[in-house]
Structure formats: C-alpha cells, structure tokens
A and B are shown apart, each in its own frame.
Chain A
C-alpha cells in the first residue's frame, strides 16, 4: 500500500501516529469510537517528506544547517529565518496541492459551507522523535478560508520545524534534520458558541461515577487558561443527569479574530455574564460522549469540547481533544474493606465507626 499524502481523519487511528502525528491520530481514534469530532483531513508526514524531496529542498536546508553551532544564537536566528522563508515561498508539488485542494473542496461540500473556515494545526510525531515536540508545537491558525490561504498556512506549519529553538535542540541531541517529520491537521472550525473541558472523573474527590464539565461562551481558551470561573456541572455518569450546577459570573470570552487567524479575548456583555453558557441537553449529550470516550480508552479522560452554534441541537456537540486524566489515575484507590470479612464483621465496623456529625 502506498503511503497517502493526504488522508481523512476517519481513516486514522492510534496506529497512524507515524503518518499523521499524535493530534490527528487521536481524533481519528475518537471518530472510530463513534465520537462526534469536527470533520477534517491531514497532510501526512509522507506529504511533508515529499515536499522536502521536491526541488532539492532537503539539500538546500542541509547545506544551510551544515556546520551550524548550536550556541551561536545569531547564526541560528538568521539561518532559521532563511530556511523558513524558503519553505514558505516554495511551491508544493502539483500532486500534493491537488490533493489538499480536493480534500478541502470535499470538506466544504460536506459542511455545506462555501470555502469552509478551517483551523490549521501541526500534529507532531513526538513519540518517535523527541525533538519534534519542539516542532512548532503551538502552531495553530484559526479561521483559514480558501485553498490559497490553506496552502500557505500548511507550509507555515512545515516551516515551524525550523525555528531557531527547534534547530538548536536537534543539534544538541544529535538528531538528523532529515528524519524530522510533521503532519498538518486541517479541521472545520467549530463556530464555538460555548466550549470548555470535561473530566470523566470528579477531579476534586476522584469519584469515578461522576463527570465534571466546565464551560464558558466562545472558545475553550478562557476555561483552559483559568481566566474565568466557568459554569460547572456535576453529572452522574450512570444516569447522565445533572446532579449539581453552578453558574457564576463570567466576564470575558474568546472569539476568533479573523485578521490575525487567532483567538482574541473579549468582554462578555453584562446581560450574558450570569447566563448559563451551555444548554442542559448539550451537557447531557457531552457527558454521554465522555462516557463513551472513557469506555473506549478504558480509563478516566480529560476532554476538550465545543458546541457549534451553526449546527442544530442534537448534532452540535463536538469533541476537540481527549487525553488520559493523570491526577487521580496515578493515586491509590480508597481502601476497600477486606472482602474476607463476614457480613456481621462489616456491619460491626460500620457501627463502631459511626457517622461524624457535619
């Protein structure tokens, strides 16, 4: 089987890491588990390599990096700028360009939006190449529209592997620059009416029968960064009903800034500050997804999500990312009473302990 240059998220799974990197393979895995994820596709590491093999790009890069001193910051900076400039201005192969354009058109048709706005992110293959974790790790371009812009941002992601810092790191560790590879994920932008995080465990007390959802209007950044006290919902994982809710005052939110292709912090209008940012039905739907994700991975998970304001209720809740919860999962479970005791011994010890008066 030939390696694809571009592939759909749904064609990926946890075995696709080398091809599409961690972010995309995990999205593919979620789709495979029946979880609603904003649709998209990836330019694979194969596509990336093909780009570097075209027009002697590899050679050109190699020449410039040759003999570079990792401690010479000035030289690092100028070489880095030169290489990135070179990458960003070089054309992609017609084959790769066609495939990206073709996938993008399909995505637009599928979403029923002409020139659908997408988020373009690098998806690193960090596991087999530690240096790649430096590879433009924060490179995300929001609200990218049209093929030209998409191609430009894709190349920018490629170029992010050659920041001065990434180059220096690889030099220090002795990694060959030619072994570095990266994938780029291109995903429909959710028109994030509300977003946040979800734990499929109660992060306060470690209760595995609970799901906790934090939410605010707009993008999830305000919740992730802790800039607002978010709406909080405690959901019973078994019955999926909301057992407790707090809706505090939320003063800011994040929305996309179309000019800079990034997220921008805005003030929430006074009349919306104390309004619940996400509908109960959507919270329940989210919890149902959280439960399924946990079942799929077999452990408590930490999930990022968004509600797409463009989609009808019932199909508007999307999962953006899921990773294992680490705080409670690494702790000792509460000690269970010895199973070998008889019923009367259990009861006796319960009576002897009694109930502490609150």
Chain B
C-alpha cells in the first residue's frame, strides 16, 4: 500500500549487521511473519513509538519495566476494572524501540456488559480513593522494605560453620538464586501497584481536561495542570531535606568546610574530625533514607543515578543553598504565592464559564481531578525513585558476583542481558560453584555482550518511525490518550531536528510551553545534576530532564529548557512556581545548544531560539 501514513509493521527493515537482534528481547515482542493469524492482527493495529519513555533503544534488562507495565496496565483495564471500550495496551519492539498499541473492544454488546462492571468497580475506587491510596502506601512501603532486606552475598569457598551448627540446610548458592528471584518478583509486584490507581487517575484528569478544552478551546495544558496540581508534593521532600542540611551546617558553623571541597569524600573526612561535623553527618545520614533515593533522572533507566549512588550530587546542592543563605536570599518555596496563583487562575476560568450549570460541572470535575492527582504526582517517588534506586543497586550487586566469576567483563555489562538470561547464567554459575567445576558462561556471555553493544549502537543511529500500522479514528484508552497526545506532537517537532544534516544549522527548537514568559540569556548545558554547581546567576539551564535533585539550580537560573518531559514534569512545575519561562520536551536541546550561546526561551509558545 503506497498511500498509507505509516509503514506496515512487517515492512520495517532490520538494520544491516543486527540480524538476530530479536533474541535480545522476549520472543513475544517481535512482529511475526510466520503466524498468519497473529500477523493479520498486527497489521490491523496502530502501533506508536513510545518516545517519551524510550528516547533511546531499550537495554535488554531494562525491558523488565516495560514487561511490568505491559502486564499491569492491561490487567487493570481488561480484567479488573473492566474499562468498557478498551482492553489493554499491546507491546512490540522494532530495532530496539518500544511500540505500543491500545486494544479496543469491538463488540457493542460486550462494551455494554463491561459498563456495569466498570461503574461498580472503578466507582468503588473513586469513592474510596483516599482510604485505598492510604492502603497503597502501606503495600508499596512493605514491598520496598522487602527489597531492601534482600542480601546479595558472594559465594564462599567453604560455607560458614554456623550453617552446620544452626542446622540451616541451605547454601549461599541457593540463596543467590532465591534472592534474584525475589528481586524480580518484587519489581513486578511494585509495578502491579503502580498501575492500581494510575489509569483511573489519568481518566479523571482527561475528563477534566476535556471539559476545560470544550469550554476554552485555547486553554494551554499547563493551566489545566496548574489548577489541579498539589503544592505539598512528596517529590519535593528530598529538596527540603537539603535545605535543612544547609541551615544546619550554618547553625553548626561547619559551612566553610563544606564550601571548601568539591568532593564529598574530602569534606566528610574533615567533618569527622570535629564534634559539630559529626553531628551534621549524623543528620545527613538520617535524611538519606529514604529521601536520598531520588534519582537525578526519571529513575526509569539503569543509568539514572540517585543521590545515594553519588553523594556529590546532594552535596553540591547543599553548597548552593548555603551560598544562597549567606547572600541573604530566601531558599523557601513560595508556597503561599503558589497557592494564591493557583486559586486565582481557577477562579478566573470559573468566572468565565457561561452559566451556573457549567460552573457546577467544573467544580465537580475539578474536585475529582484534585482527589486523584496527588497519586499521579506522588507514586513516582515510591516506584520510579525509591524502589528503582534500591533495585538497580541490588542488580549491580548480582553483577559484581557475575563479574567475579567471569560471566561479564564489567558490572555495567549486565544490562545487555535479559532477566531470564541472568537467571540461567546464575544457575550455571551456582551449579558450577557447587560442583567445583568451571562454568560454561564465561565463554558464552562476554562475546554475546560485545555483539549486543554493537547492535545497540546501530539501534541508536537509526531513527524509529513515529508509528506503524493503521491509525484508528478514535483512541479511548486513557493512558494512551495522554501519552499519544504528548508523543505525537513531540515526534513531529523532533523529526525536523532528526532530518537536519548538520546539527549546527539548527537554530530553533520546539517543545512544550511549560511555564509562560520569554527571556534571553546565556545557555548552560548541564548533562547531570552533579554539574549544576557550575551554573552562574542569570544563566539558562539546558538539561536532559530535571528532578528534585536539580531543585537548587532553579534559584540561580532565569529559564529552563529540557530534552524530555511534559507539562506535568518537574521542571515545568518548579518554573511556574518561580515564575520563570520553561520549555520542556524539546527532544534534543542538550545536543544542539552549547554552553555560552545566547538563546531565547519562549515558555508561552514552546519555542527556543539560538540567537548567537
């Protein structure tokens, strides 16, 4: 078919030199040609590239979270809440990139039947939202504690005597296999909880958004978000801990020691010498758990470092706050002003509605959206940040043992293996250890990993089409509605950049208008949160994404531009609080803009221009 908008899924060609890449991912993720029924189904569906979650090709191990949400989201839609017109969201991989497709319910009679169940079941969740989310918090905390309690221990040449004297009857080899299984199980469980509320939350948000857009066709998404956003969001707590540590350092008179060092290890050594230093270190240690489990990225990928992984990140932020206080600047969040502004915006929109009936509907939908939104904002701290941070660390502990036994050359090689392959390798490793022979793995995995690294590189250089298959007229799946709305627009804007021959020729970028206003200034590209100390006052921050880890940067800058994110992302929320312009989700700002360039950021239109 020549007149189609998007290529057919089976027509996308394998990149030369990557033949056989399918074995890097679960077999059910490949588009198939030899299963006629499945092929027909795949051809009739619309698969869009989930570029928001997967800007890069996915590492085989990292696909665990994709599998986890594939299962979780779908089961809640299809089997638990019975969302009437949609089942789940199907997943595939093309050349390393994840494509997803919402599955509609086609039989009108079935939709009718599902409505009754939905009203009863989802209705119960909406009605008991607060009680159920309180229960959720208990469940998720218990899951995280279980993960933290898992011990990954090296395999001894001879087991400890106590194994005998206590009559334990189990080996460290068995424990390693068991620990790995438990980790994986907890990860999947954690994502079960992740989607328990999320799609219901999105559905309520979309309902309010729909209403606002119908009444006010021009309303920017950032305004809708502003009306329903919470102010005391748990994601901010980590930053509050840093501010407290800055204040405490000044009270204890140890700020000079902190400011004198770039590396936390050096500062720590000196602080340990004096009692106030030790007091401060104790406060720091208390703040670390759980708050320093925030990731400096989204937490979604293995390469997102948390504060606990690299104390230089929070250390650098504490120093910025100390300097701010010394200068007499306020480091408090302007909570009252934020609330006032939110209430003003809400009241003004409400007053513009045509009549009392519309106002009553507005009030009701706003209230529902506000009830569900704290979950939408807060779940990330528990799942993507706290749980994932601990999880990535445990996987690295497993990797250390595999490296010790020659299964991988470097700890970071583990991400090139599927979770099932790791399980197989660990069996090989443990049985060989138990048997007292050489394992098979050291000759199998390192060359395979080398080959996969080459494939990943080729994947990175390939541009995934925004979608494959046949677009439906209407999308009804709430998560997809939110995601596609974001993804489709971004991909269109990004394609211009992708098609450019020379990155230096690109002088303009488009992203989401996240926080209004327009400024010009000098750009500072910071690829990681550990670089924010180099920011100078009045510069414009250009970053891959931001999280609470980056919060101190906002006290110095006058605008913010990010590669990834939507109107609900951290940078957007914080910039609105500070009243500074922000454009997020530009796709490629950190690749195109260079430190020192003069740029113009228009947070009202979403445009970023390189001036000189």
Residues of A that sit less than 8 Å from B by CB: 202, 205-210, 234, 236-239, 241-245, 280, 333-334, 336-339, 342-348, 350-358
Contact = CB atoms under 8 A, between A and B. Distances in A.
Interface in B468-501: 471-476, 478, 481, 484-485, 488
B365 A343 contact: yes
Contact of A236 (B84, B210, B223, B478): B223
Contact of B517 (A202, A241, A353): A241
Nearest to B213: A207
A348 B115 contact: yes
Interface of B: 83-86, 115, 118-119, 122-123, 126-127, 203-204, 206-207, 210-211, 214-220, 223, 344-345, 348-349, 352-355, 357-358, 360-365, 367-368, 471-476, 478, 481, 484-485, 488, 513, 516-518, 604-605
A328 B517 CA distance: 29
Contacts of A356: 473-474
B485 A355 contact: yes
A202 B345 CA distance: 18
A50 B249 CA distance: 83
B481 A355 contact: yes
Contacts of A210: 216, 218
B370 to A, nearest CB: 11
Given A207-B219, A238-B345, A347-B204, 10 more contacts: A210-B218, A234-B218, A241-B516, A337-B211, A344-B126, A347-B203, A351-B476, A351-B478, A352-B84, A357-B471
B126 A347 contact: yes
A350 B358 contact: no
Contacts of B214: 334
A208 B358 CA distance: 14
A348 B516 contact: no
A75 to B, nearest CB: 55
A348 B84 CA distance: 8
Contact of B364 (A243, A346, A354): A346
A243 B210 contact: no
Contacts of B475: 354-355, 357
A129 B206 CA distance: 55
Contacts of B473: 356-357
30 contacts: A207-B219, A210-B218, A238-B349, A239-B223, A242-B605, A280-B518, A333-B355, A334-B354, A336-B357, A336-B361, A337-B361, A338-B361, A339-B357, A342-B123, A343-B365, A344-B119, A344-B123, A346-B207, A346-B364, A346-B365, A347-B122, A347-B207, A348-B118, A351-B84, A351-B85, A351-B203, A354-B85, A354-B481, A355-B474, A355-B484
B259 to A, nearest CB: 38
Q: Closest 9 CB pairs between A and B?
A: A333-B354, A339-B360, A354-B476, A336-B358, A350-B207, A241-B516, A354-B474, A241-B604, A343-B368
Contacts of A207: 216-219
B216 A209 contact: yes
Contacts of B84: 348, 351-352
A236 to B, nearest CB: 7
A229 B118 CA distance: 52
- Interface majority SS (helix, strand, loop, mixed), chain B: helix
A238 B344 CA distance: 9
A339 B214 CA distance: 15
A236 B605 CA distance: 11
Contacts of B360: 339
Contacts of B513: 243
A280 B218 CA distance: 19
A239 B345 contact: yes
A291 to B, nearest CB: 9
Contacts of A344: 119, 122-123, 126-127
Nearest to B603: A241
Given A280-B518, A351-B83, A243 B119 contact: no
Nearest to B209: A350
A348 B488 CA distance: 25
Given A209-B349, A346-B364, A348-B84, A357 B216 contact: no
Contact of B210 (A339, A350, A358): A350
A88 B485 CA distance: 68
**Which of A208, A342, A344 has the largest number of chain B CB atoms within 10 A?**
A344
Contacts of B361: 336-339, 346
Contacts of B207: 346-347, 350
B476 A339 contact: no
A345 B357 CA distance: 16
Given A239-B223, A355-B481, A208 B352 contact: yes
Nearest to B476: A354
B204 A205 contact: no
Contacts of A334: 214-215, 354
A206 B353 CA distance: 12
B605 A357 contact: no
Nearest to B581: A241
Contacts of A345: 119
A257 B365 CA distance: 57
Nearest to B365: A346
Nearest to B211: A337
Contact of A339 (B119, B204, B364, B488): B364
B474 A350 contact: no
B74 to A, nearest CB: 16
A357 B474 contact: yes
Nearest to B363: A339
A234 B219 CA distance: 11
A343 B204 contact: yes
Contacts of A242: 604-605
Contacts of A337: 211, 361
A241 B513 CA distance: 11
A205 B218 contact: yes
A5 to B, nearest CB: 43
Contacts of B365: 343, 346
A238 B361 CA distance: 20
Contacts of A336: 211, 215, 353-355, 357-358, 361-362
B227 to A, nearest CB: 10
A354 B206 CA distance: 10
B358 A333 contact: yes
A350 B203 contact: yes
A64 B348 CA distance: 60
Nearest to A332: B354
B218 A236 contact: yes
A237 B219 CA distance: 10
A45 B223 CA distance: 50
A40 B474 CA distance: 59
Nearest to B206: A350
B256 to A, nearest CB: 43
Contacts of A243: 218, 220, 513, 604-605
Contacts of B368: 343, 346-347
A344 B83 CA distance: 12
B85 A352 contact: yes
B485 to A, nearest CB: 7
Nearest to A356: B474
A8 B122 CA distance: 66
Nearest to A349: B207
Contacts of A342: 123
